[in-house]
């Protein structure tokens, strides 16, 4: 049973608040780590997804990265200008452009992968493997619960609910 009271009788903040603020702090720290290595979160997302899949289309990349098409196009354009990815016509469907890492993209990906693993080690310091496994399972359950909900109002074009 979840209690809404602390031992002192004060109300406990909703856990969603803790999750949102923790996610924000993690994202900012991760972005800083990527920037110190000469990368960015957007570049990491593109390189990591392509590395996982080999050749990918924009649509598959956007789905893998959990972002919309316009956002992923911005990041891919930037990665292409930096010489990290190359667009190629899909031989099975000439309307589709596939993406692949260039040799420089592979080098930068390996560097950013190391940075990501070092960041994870720093964040997970003092948390046992069993606790990390439980955290991953719990986060997966949270995502599943969210996916089961209706599409959020802010994505339906109805705007945010009135503020109270």
How does residue 1 score in pLDDT terms, banded at 50, 70 and 90?
A: very low
Residue 86 lies in a domain: yes
Residue 160 lies in a domain: no
Q: Mean pLDDT for the chain?
A: 85
Residue 164 lies in a domain: no
Residue 94 lies in a domain: yes
Judged by DSSP in three states, 94 sits in strand
pLDDT (average), residues 131-136:
97
The number of folded domains in the chain is: 1
Residue 152 lies in a domain: no
Residue 30 lies in a domain: yes
Q: Which domain holds residue 22?
A: 15-146
Residue 151 lies in a domain: no
CATH code, domain carrying 129: 1.10.10.10
Residue 157 lies in a domain: no
SS (H, E, C) the chain: CCCCECCCCCECCCHHHHHHHHHHHHHHHHHHHHHHCCCCHHHHHHHHHHHHHCCEEHHHHHHHHCCCHHHHHHHHHHHHHCCCEEEEEECCEEEEEEEEECHHHHHHHHHHHHHHHHHHHHHCCCCCHHHHHHHHHHHHHHHHHHHHCCCCHHHHCCCCCCCC
How does residue 163 score in pLDDT terms, banded at 50, 70 and 90?
A: low
Q: What is the pLDDT of residues 31-54, one digit of tens each?
A: 999 999 999 999 998 998 888 767
The 8-class DSSP code of residue 127 comes to -
Q: What is the pLDDT of residues 86-122, one digit of tens each?
A: 988 877 877 777 888 999 999 999 999 999 999 999 9
pTM as predicted: 0.76
Give the whole-angstrom CA distance, residue 82 versus residue 100: 13
């Amino acid at each position: 049973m979840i209690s809404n009271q602390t031992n002192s009788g004060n109300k406990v903040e909703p856990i969603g608040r803790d999750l949102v603020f923790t996610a924000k702090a993690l994202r900012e720290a991760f972005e800083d780590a990527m920037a110190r290595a000469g990368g960015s979160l957007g570049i990491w997302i593109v390189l990591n997804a392509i590395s996982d899949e080999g050749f990918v289309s924009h649509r598959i990349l956007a789905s893998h990265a959990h972002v919309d098409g316009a956002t992923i196009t911005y990041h891919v354009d930037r990665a292409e200008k930096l010489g990290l990815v190359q667009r190629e016509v899909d031989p099975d469907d000439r309307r589709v452009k596939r993406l692949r890492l260039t040799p420089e993209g592979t080098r930068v990906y390996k560097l950013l992968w190391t940075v990501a693993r070092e960041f994870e080690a720093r964040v997970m310091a003092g948390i046992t493997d069993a606790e990390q496994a439980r955290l991953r399972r719990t986060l997966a359950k949270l995502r599943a619960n969210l996916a089961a909900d209706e599409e959020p109002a802010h994505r339906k074009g109805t705007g945010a609910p009135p503020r109270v």
